[in-house]
Structure 1
Amino acid sequence: MRTNIPTPSLLLIVVTLLSVAVAVVVMWGATMVPWMGLRLALTPDGSQIQVIGIDDVDSFSEPTPGNGNLLLAIGPHPADPAHPPVVLEPSDITPEPDSFESFAAIDTFFQRQAVLDALLQEPVTLYMQSTYSREPFTTVTYPMTRPFENLPDGFWVQLLAGLAGVLISGWVWALKPGRLGPVLFFIGAGGMALSTTTSAIYANRELAMNADLFRVLVPVNNSGAVIFGLAMFGLLMIYPVRLIRPAWLWLLLVLFAVMATLTFGHIGLGPYQLYLFVAAATLAIFAAIGLQWLATRKRPADRAALGWLGLSIAVGCSAYTVLGAAPVLFDVPFGLPQSHVTGVLVVIYLGLAFGLSRFRLFELGDWAYRVLFYTVGTLLLVCIDAGLVVLLELDNGPALALSLLLVGFLYLPTRDWIWRRITARRRIEQHELFSAALDVAFAPSPAGRASRWRALLTRLFDPLEVTESTDIAAIGVSNDGLTLHLPPAAGSPPLLLAYPFAGRGLFSPQHQDLAEQLLTLVARAEEGREAYMRGVGEERRRMARDLHDDVGARLLTGLHTADETTRPTLQAALSDIRAIVSGLSGEEASLDRVLAETRHEAARRLEAAEIALDWPLPEAEIDAIQLDYRLHKALTSAVREIVSNVIRHSAASRFTVTATLSPGHLTVQFADNGKGLPPAALAGETAGFGLRNLRHRIGDIGGYLTLAAMPAGTTITLDIPLVLQPHTPEPGVPEPPLPLNSPA
């Protein structure tokens, strides 16, 4: 037999329609209260009632009341000796009767409300006193039902706070209707709505209202507050960790029955006992949060959920206790009206709405927002369509078309903006992933690839912890979304990513799919890089063979037949060919051999130019140091260029070279006793290419060249690294792409 289970959207629509019905009833009840067009408040000393605002001066006879006038009494019009005016008391405009000290006082209050309400059903005479002259005067008015637009802001705060709680908690309940946690959360919101909506009717009255209705609304209001407190306490006893068996929650129902009996039967300490319950419930809620904190110490996911939900409940309940209950219990005046105090409770439900995606409260995720948005869109479309048909008297066809346009061009863009703000994570496009994978795979070294891989994961997921692991063969999510397991990739060992998005979220199946896609892209890019490097290696080896077998053989033949003038040039060319062949073959040269060959070539050239060379060998052991081809080629070419400049331009008789070895660097200083360089050459402003190319060659390998003028001659210092660093992009070559979660 098939069971018809209502969908979340259907349940949410039912909750929404129920909320709309409650709002309509509450607004109707508030507008049925007698209204004279005055805004009343107590004088600063609290002894009399004064006018603080007039909504419709024309509804009063002359002389009309003014701001600050005292309202002393109210009587029938015309005057009736059998019904003398009723002298008003400050307690007549008390917004919350449960602040009275005794049940006898509240009974007297309701009796006076009945008398005043009966008077306000007919024209009345207001007995007033002028603010400035202190002279008494009377004015006549005709009370009516309160216009909708004149409902005070306190009414809207209470009504909207209650409905917001019901809608948000109803949304959660509609998604998880079978879970006890969402059910208690929804019950608590229902209790808060009972309390705020009933108070919205009587706490915002002008002077008096129907006493029989008033007598019912006050205990209903108190019962709603009790339901809210008990439901919040019960929720924290079972969520996120179950501290008690669910059967024990029936004791809360017994406690509610006791409180309802005391409230409706006028039994106990007095009306203010409600505020004692509020204070006790707040302390119990804090105790439950403390117990949950201890119970979740080894459960990070539950601790994260408790941190957000517990904070929201604690802030909302504490604010209500301090602003609402404490002033009544301790008889301390407070500037915030009672009608506004209940608005702080909505903090609890707003906190839940914003924390739902981050911490999966009640095991919900981002999909919960999608259900809400689509349901709201459906309701909005129906409401706009009905409004256009009823208010503007449009036909059904044009009204539906206009509704679709409004929803499509206003609601949907707004919904998308809200969705982006809630998720707070930028969508990763396919081309960005591909570019990032290439950037990782084509790093110049294995260590560089591993470093870029970690940096990419950090940009994508922003985890608080990245640790190396072992024996991870496949991607997976564990610890309720706190940890993402990644197998080896890009030269990096297996990794564990924990606490994503700076600890503000959890890994979802979508994040796991993203990581799998990224691993696949990096693997494909690495395969392409390896194929490219194999091709480059083959081509280099072919070129090396051609140079060695063809060009080298021809130079060697020429060397045997050359005269003494040509022989040094051919020997230098053969040396260059050997260096190029070694570089193309990927071979490295030892530093001692490079220095020895360079020293030998320089000595031969300087001897031919009749310049004495002083080049002692370095004292440190350098035979174990191997140089990359680019390094020893740059060093050899630099020495050759410097020697050429000395021979051509210096007119020196002596040339000194000092090589100093330090960790990771080789410093070579060249000094001659010639005529020196002109100031323009020292400043790098010459038109020639020799020194300029020399600077560029040394700079390309991460080294430095320094020129200095001496009293006799010039000093050139080369600082060359012994390990080749990753090549810096040339001007115009794009840098690696922006972080994938950047706001750009």
Structure 2
Amino acid sequence: MAYQSVFNGTRIAPLPLMGAGAALALLLILSALVFIERQPWLGLGVDYDNESGFPIVSVVYEPQHAAGSVRQDSRLTAIISDRGDRISLEGFDPTLEPSGFAHFDVQKHYFERSTEITEVLAEGASLEVDGEHRVPVSLAKGRGLDSLPADFWLLNLFGLLVWAIGLSVFAARPGERAARMLCLSSAGFYVSCLFNSIYVCRELAMSGETLASLSAGNRAALLVMLFAILALMARFPGCITRRPPELYLTVAFCLVLVNEWQQLVDLPVHSFFLPVYIMYAAGIAIAFVQWRKTRNYPVDRAALKWMLLAVFIIMGTGLVTYYIPITVRGSPLLPEWGLVAIASMLYVGFALGIIRYRLFQVDRWWLTIWIWFLGGLSIVLVDMALIAYLKVQPPVALMGAVIFVGWLYFPVRQWAWEGLTGGKGRRQHQLVRMVEEIAGAVPSGEVNDTWQSVLTRSFDPASIQPIENRVSEVRLGENGTRMDVPLLEHNGALRLFYAHGGKRLFSTDDREYAENLFQVSRRILRVHQAEMEAVQQERQRIVRDLHDDVGGQLLSLLRQAPDDYYGSLARNALQSLRESMKAIDNDAIQDASGCIDDWQAEAEERLFPLGVNLDWSKQLNTAPLQFSVRQAINLRRILFEAISNALQHASPRRISVYLKSDDNYLELTLVNDGVDQSTRHKGLLRGRGLNNMQTRASELGGMSEFSIDGEVANVRTVIPIIP
């Protein structure tokens, strides 16, 4: 596994670093449990009744400490000290979030009441229940884990999840400033959750000094989280300030923190929440600047878009469901653990961004490390839960945790991995079928087109384009945004952008798969090319034999012909032999101008003795025009078939031949006069000759048509030309 530099040249692998971070987090949670166990506890679970304005008993855990007279749903109206002093509990909510108070003096008064209640309970007191009778109570000596509210475990679970994500990104990229900011933010999130989980476990009251310290620690950690997120936004994908943005944000952080700790100035609207609103507005401004800076960088903008969606959607949801309702009406729409759950999704969004867009330059091996880490952590958590709640013996609990995680977590992990990374388990038979498809394209000369089709089906890129760069192997570019794959034939390559329709980047697994497919296809292609070369050599041998044997005999026959008739037959046979030999070489290319000049000379030689005038006109494209052997043969035979038909079925005085071409097509038109009335009615010109012309044109991918207008006949043939 690759090692990363962390501090002062010390090297540590990502997984051990994550393990050390998880161990530290679990140790802090254990310390929190010890701290909670030492807090005053009557054996009750206490909530607050908004209608009556008094605390109420939600659960009775240890009835002996309340003389068995405190029941569920009992209203706690006051505390009576042993000296007879009565402390009313009206309006005292033991479940309040200390930073939810809008002004410092209100918070200070709440801490003072909490201290007073705690001191009375420690000296010995009675509870006034339902405003009618008194119940002597005493503090319990210990507190079981089963008495801790679910909020404690949820807050620490979400905090641990976020801490693991931030630490894993730092472990992968310790030198990346944006990764450091994310790690710092996740650390602030975790510490905030830890402090929060402690004071949500308070029963009726907690020492005001202790509660104030926990609240101050929670606020400091929360501000670290938020300011680190702002620094991250100012750093990623590019820094928006000349000086480090952390410098400005650290000054602002210190000002806010000192004002809260020293309670210097009461801010308008809400002394604790107004900085959160201001930071959200600052985040919008930073996002606007980053958006403008990345307008010409599509890769950075795609990553920025993902990050901004995660930040503003999640943080906006937190504002709407928690902060704004407390500011307006004094109570949130969601409990505090719900806010923490929503906020943790911000970091999950960062994790998904790493998988899809490689945020912070983290490769997708990061996910593999993180999933294995989570697997080990799951065993520890399940083991602790079995011991704490089901009272299972430690050896049995460990075995049960291993079985549970092995049967449940690892299958879910595999399913999630395939879904997140886009891996669908390419099977061997798919590879074989693709290679066979490429091999089948060799005879038609469409190997590169088939290769592009295979790559498109394999990776479903958002776009694919040819490039002229010489590429010898498959390679990734721009952090997986694109993948260059060599062509199977000739130089050049295909550049694929964004796999799976733009849903993810290309990975090293994609590169390895494409490289294997390329190497196998190249080997198969070489085998087929060797076979084609052998076939071509055999064709050349046949051509030599025809030329030396049959051609020589026909040439002798032509020289010894007794008259012109037999000489013409021998000459035509020799011409047909030459065309057949050329046709054997399918790859031969001929200059079109030379062919056309030969056709003109041959037509003049044939028509001049018959007294028929020949008009020959050509308007060819300026680019050099070429014919394949098959095109040259078929066009010549179409031309002279049309001339033969004109001489046989009409009495032409003039035959006009027009040739013109553009970038895509060649048009050959023959026009003759001398068509009489009887010929038009009998339709003699629509016999076998015209069918042969249509067949030859079709073989070339074109068409041939015939028409008569008065005494003029017209044969028009159009074929595609060689690009």
After TM superposition, is the score higher than 0.5?
A: yes
Which position in structure 2 is the counterpart of 1:483?
A: 482
> Matches of residues 313-712 of structure 1 in structure 2 within 5 Å?
313-331=311-329, 333-375=331-373, 392=393, 415-429=413-427, 432-443=430-441, 446=444, 449-475=447-473, 476-489=475-488, 494-533=493-532, 617=686, 623-626=692-695
Letter of the 1:11 partner, please give it: L
2:132 maps to 1:136: yes
Q: What secondary structure is seen at the aligned counterpart in 1 of 2:495?
A: strand
Contact preservation (8 Å) 1:203, 1:339: no
Deviations 1:687-727 (A, max 9, x none): xxxxxxxxxxxxxxxxxxxxxxxxxxxxxxxxxxx99xxxx
CA distance in 2, matches of 1:248, 1:279: 19
Q: For the Cα contact (< 8 Å) 1:204–1:339, is it kept in 2?
A: no
Deviations 1:605-642 (A, max 9, x none): xxxxxxxx9998269965544459xx99xxxxxxxxxx
Cα distance in 2 for residues equivalent to 1:446 and 1:535: 17
- Change over 3 Å in CA distance of 1:123–1:368 after alignment to 2: same
**In structure 1, distance between residues paired with 2:585 and 2:314:** 73
SS across alignment from 1:5? strand
**2:241 matched to which residue of 1?**
244
Q: Secondary structure at the match of 2:92?
A: helix
- Could you say which residue in structure 2 is the equivalent of 1:22? 28
- Residue 224 (structure 2) pairs with residue 227 (structure 1): yes
3-state SS of paired residue (2:484):
strand
Q: Which residue of 2 aligns with 1:88?
A: 89
Superposed CA deviations along residues 342-363 of structure 1, whole A, max 9, x for unmatched, are: 2221012111222212111111
For residues 402 and 49 of structure 2, the distance between their equivalents in structure 1, rounded to whole angstroms, comes to 54
**Residue 584 of structure 1: how far off its partner (Å):** 10
Structure 1 residues 511, 232: CA separation in 2 closer, same or farther (over 3 Å shift)? Answer: same
Deviations 1:338-381 (A, max 9, x none): 34322221012111222212111111112212333455566778
- Alignment partners' CA distance in 1, 2:469 and 2:444: 20
Q: Which whole-Å CA distance do the structure 2 matches of 1:34 and 1:165 have between them?
A: 31
Task: Report if aligned partners of 1:223, 1:259 keep a CA contact under 8 Å in 2.
Answer: no
Q: How many residues align?
A: 588
Distance in 1, matches of 2:342 and 2:179, equals 21
Q: 1:284 aligns with which of 276, 282, 286?
A: 282
Residues of 1 paired with 2:510 and 2:405: CA distance? 31
- Aligned partner letter, 1:526: L
Q: TM-score, normalised by structure 1?
A: 0.67
Check whether the contact 2:694–2:703 (CA below 8 A) recurs between aligned residues. no
Please give the residue correspondences for 1:28-43 in structure 2 after superposition, counting only pairs within 5 Å: 28-43=34-49
Secondary structure of the 1:330 match is: helix
Alignment partner, residue 114 of structure 1 = 115
Change (3 A) 1:203 1:95: farther
Contact 1:237 1:243 in 2 (8 A): yes
1:228 CA drift (Å): 1.2
State how far apart, in whole Å, the 2-side matches of 1:324 and 1:97 are. Answer: 14
- Which whole-Å CA distance do the structure 2 matches of 1:375 and 1:102 have between them? 43
Cα distance change, pair 313–29 in 1 and its aligned pair in 2 (3 A): farther
When residues 665 and 208 of structure 1 are mapped into structure 2, their CA distance, relative to the original with a 3 A threshold, is: farther
Does residue 156 in structure 1 map to residue 225 in structure 2? no
Please list the CA deviations of residues 136-184 of structure 1 after superposition, one character each: whole Å capped at 9, or x if unmatched. Answer: 3444444435431122222223222222221210111122222221111
Structure-1 separation of matches of 2:136 and 2:222:
40
Q: Which amino acid aligns with 2:487?
A: P
Match of 1:178, SS? Answer: coil
Structure 1 unmatched ranges of 5 or more = 130-134, 550-579, 597-612, 633-661, 667-721, 724-744
Report the CA distance between 1:469 and its aligned residue.
3.1
1:308 corresponds to which residue?
Answer: 306
Q: Distance in 1 between matches of 2:376 and 2:383?
A: 11
Residue identity in the other structure for 2:289: L
Query: Once structures 1 and 2 are overlaid, which stretch shifts more, 140-149 or 374-383?
Result: 374-383
Q: Distance in 2 between matches of 1:386 and 1:192?
A: 23
Question: What SS is found at the alignment partner of 1:166?
Answer: helix
CA distance in 1, matches of 2:108, 2:356: 50
AA of the residue aligned to 1:17:
A
Distance 1:545 1:247 in 2: 80
For the 8 Å contact 1:154–1:340, the answer to whether it is kept is no
Identity %: 24
Shift of 1:19: 0.7
Q: Distance in 2 between matches of 1:108 and 1:246?
A: 43
Q: Which residue in the other structure is 2:679 paired with? A: none
- State the alpha-carbon separation in 2 of the partners of residues 10 and 93 from structure 1: 41
Residue of structure 1 equivalent to 2:255: 258
Assess if the C-alpha contact under 8 Å between 1:490 and 1:522 holds in 2: no
Asked if the contact 2:442/2:525 (under 8 Å) is kept, the reply is no
- The answer (yes or no) to whether the contact 2:461–2:498 under 8 Å persists in 1 is yes
Deviation for aligned residue 1:408: 7.3
1-structure distance, mates of 2:468, 2:247: 49
Post-superposition shift, 1:457? 0.8
SS in 2 for 1:310: helix
Does the 8 A contact of 1:33 with 1:208 survive in 2?
Answer: no
Alpha-carbon separation, structure 2, partners of 1:101 and 1:471? 65
Report the alpha carbon displacement of residue 233 of structure 1 after superposing the two structures with TM.
Answer: 0.6
Instruction: Indicate the SS of the match to 2:333.
Output: coil
Cα distance per residue 1:185-244 (max 9 Å; x no partner): 111122222322212222342320122211211111111121111111111111111212
How far apart in 2 are the matches of 1:371 and 1:664?
64
1:294 aligned to which of 286, 292, 295 = 292
- Deviation digits for residues 529-562 of structure 1 (CA, Å, limit 9, x no counterpart): 334456667889999999xx9xxxxxxxxxxxxx
Work out whether 1:182 is the aligned partner of 2:179: yes
Does the CA-based 8 Å contact 1:98-1:272 persist in structure 2?
Answer: no
The 1:413/1:121 distance shift into structure 2, 3 A limit, reads same
**Whole-Å separation in 1 of the counterparts to 2:504 and 2:177:** 24
Q: Following superposition of structure 1 onto structure 2, how do residues 43-62 of structure 1 map, counting pairs within 5 Å?
A: 43-45=49-51, 47-55=53-61, 60-61=66-67
Q: CA 1:473 to 1:147, structure 2 compared with 1: closer, same or farther past 3 Å?
A: closer
Q: Alignment partner for residue 75 of structure 2, among 61, 70, 77? A: 70
Alpha carbons 2:448, 2:487 under 8 Å: kept: no
C-alpha distance in structure 1 between counterparts of 2:38 and 2:399, whole Å:
38
Call closer, same or farther: CA 1:535–1:408 in 2, change over 3 Å.
farther
Tell me which residue corresponds to 1:690: none
Q: Give the partner amino acid of 2:24.
A: L
Q: Which residue of the partner structure matches residue 211 of structure 1?
A: 208
Deviations 1:297-328 (A, max 9, x none): 22222222222222222223222222232123
Q: CA deviation at 1:590?
A: 6.6
Q: Quote the Cα distance in structure 2 between the aligned partners of 1:304 and 1:127.
A: 62
Q: Classify 1:332/1:377 alpha carbon distance in 2 versus 1 (closer, same or farther; 3 Å).
A: closer
| Change in CA separation of 1:62 and 1:11 when aligned onto 2, cut-off 3 Å | closer
Paired with 1:3 and 1:466, the residues of 2 have a C-alpha distance of 43
**Once superposed, what is the RMSD of the aligned Cα atoms?**
4.8
Contact 2:356 2:505 in 1 (8 A): yes
Could you tell me whether the CA contact under 8 Å between 1:590 and 1:626 is conserved in 2? no
SS at match of 1:125: strand
Tell me the amino acid that sits aligned with residue 93 of structure 1: P
Per-residue deviation, residues 496-538 of structure 1 (Å, max 9, x unmatched):
2222232232234443443333233222222333344566678
Counterpart amino acid of residue 100 in structure 1 = F
Whole-angstrom distance in 1 between the partners of 2:176 and 2:492: 42
Does 249-258 or 378-387 show the bigger shift? 378-387
Query: In structure 1, how many angstroms separate the alpha carbons of the residues matched to 2:134 and 2:357?
Result: 63
Structure 2 residues without counterparts, runs of 5 or longer: 1-7, 550-579, 587-628, 642-681, 706-718
Distance in 2 separating the partners of 1:103 and 1:383: 39
- Distance in 2 between the 1:399 and 1:494 partners? 57
Q: Which residue of 1 aligns with 2:715?
A: none
Amino acid at match of 2:194: T
Check 1:320–1:27 CA distance in 2 against 1; reply closer, same or farther (3 A cut): farther
- Aligned partners of 1:494 and 1:176: how far apart in 2? 32
